[in-house]
Structures are given as structure tokens and as C-alpha cells.
Structure 1
Amino acid sequence: MIQVRFRLPDGSERRIGVAAGSTLLEASREAGVELEGACGGSMACATCHVRIPDPWFDLVPPPSPEEEDMLDLAPDWQPTSRLGCQIRLDRQLDGIIVDVPVSSLLDY
């Protein structure tokens, strides 16, 4: 199991263990984090936008050009922004911290 810690805009956290190969979007749903993910993870929107703080950001694979294009649509974009649907979790990311911006939550 890969451990993921979601930090929410209100300061609370949600932790979950998920199977290797899961995406951050899938993990968020299992953890009860209401990431919108309107396109269902097909990288056709930016509603699963998250931020990956250092040192974790350096451990995730770089975004594809297509993901970079979608990130241009993300409100509150930051240099460590990524799409949750594009990050597959593996042992290297065990314990990853993910910051969820308020603009990515369903009830925003």
C-alpha cells in the first residue's frame, strides 16, 4: 500500500493507503476528498488540480506537454501544480503529501 496525505484548504488532513498504480485522483476519492475530476481522469479538464510540495515534487515524473496545457486552465496555478489524474503512485511516492486548493473541491 502507498500512503498518501491530503492537506485540505481548511487545515485538516485525510490519510489513506492505496494500491500501487492508483492515481492521486483515485486516491482522493477513496479518502473522501471531494476533488472534482469532472472528466473522470481523461485529462480533458483541470478540475483535479493539486499541488505537490517539495521534496515530493521532485519525485513525481514531469508533466507531459498535454498536462501542461491543461494546467494553464487551473485556477490558483502554482509552480508545483499537477493534475491528480496524471500522477500514478508507486513505492517512491509512499508517504506523499498533496495540497488540495479550494478551487479543486466539488463544493467550491
Structure 2
Amino acid sequence: MKPEQIITSIYNAVKLCITDHLTPLGYQPVHEQHHDALYNSRFIIWSNNREALRLTWDGKENWFVLEITETIPLNTLSQWEEMVVVPLDLENPTPEYHDEVVQKIIKALN
């Protein structure tokens, strides 16, 4: 798999797991952006109108970050607190490793 495919596959798996976990708690995806063609950076935000969570793939640093804020409504000055940072080794193509990355991020929700 190409690095872009690995990133997209893991990002989509995490996004689906988080959405499945948060939807019964009243959260909905409110914004998603893929804004960096060079590094494939992207993010998605979920909110329940009291707080918001953001999953970011930082392509320059090669890591996923899950963050939370209670600053609602969201704005450019919202203070985000890291829940977990998970580096991604793009040289490790095994499905087991990719599942481990997903699980590390999901575990931060508990």
C-alpha cells in the first residue's frame, strides 16, 4: 500500500469507530477538512453542543492527535487539550500494526 492509502485507511477506520462511539452520546460530525495535498493532513470535529472532539492527521509530523475542547461555539481561539498523540510508522505495512494505531486512539475515549 502507498503511504497515502495507509493514512486514508487508518483515518477512515478511526473516524468510523469514533463516530460509532460518540453518536449514542449525542455527538455529531460538524466539520471535516482535508486541506494539505503535500502532507495529506486532515481533521474532523464532532460536537454535542457542550464540548467538541477533533481528530487530526498531521502529515508533516506523521501522527494522529485526538483533542477535546469545551469552548463552544468553536472559533479560531478555541483551546484544544490533547487526549492522545499516536505516531504512525509508514514503513510498517502490517494490518496488525494499523489496528494497534486505531485502538490506541479509540482507547483515549474511555
TM-score (norm 2): 0.30
Larger strand share, 1 or 2: 2
TM-score (norm 1): 0.31
The structure whose RCO (Cα within 8 Å, separation 6+) is larger is 1
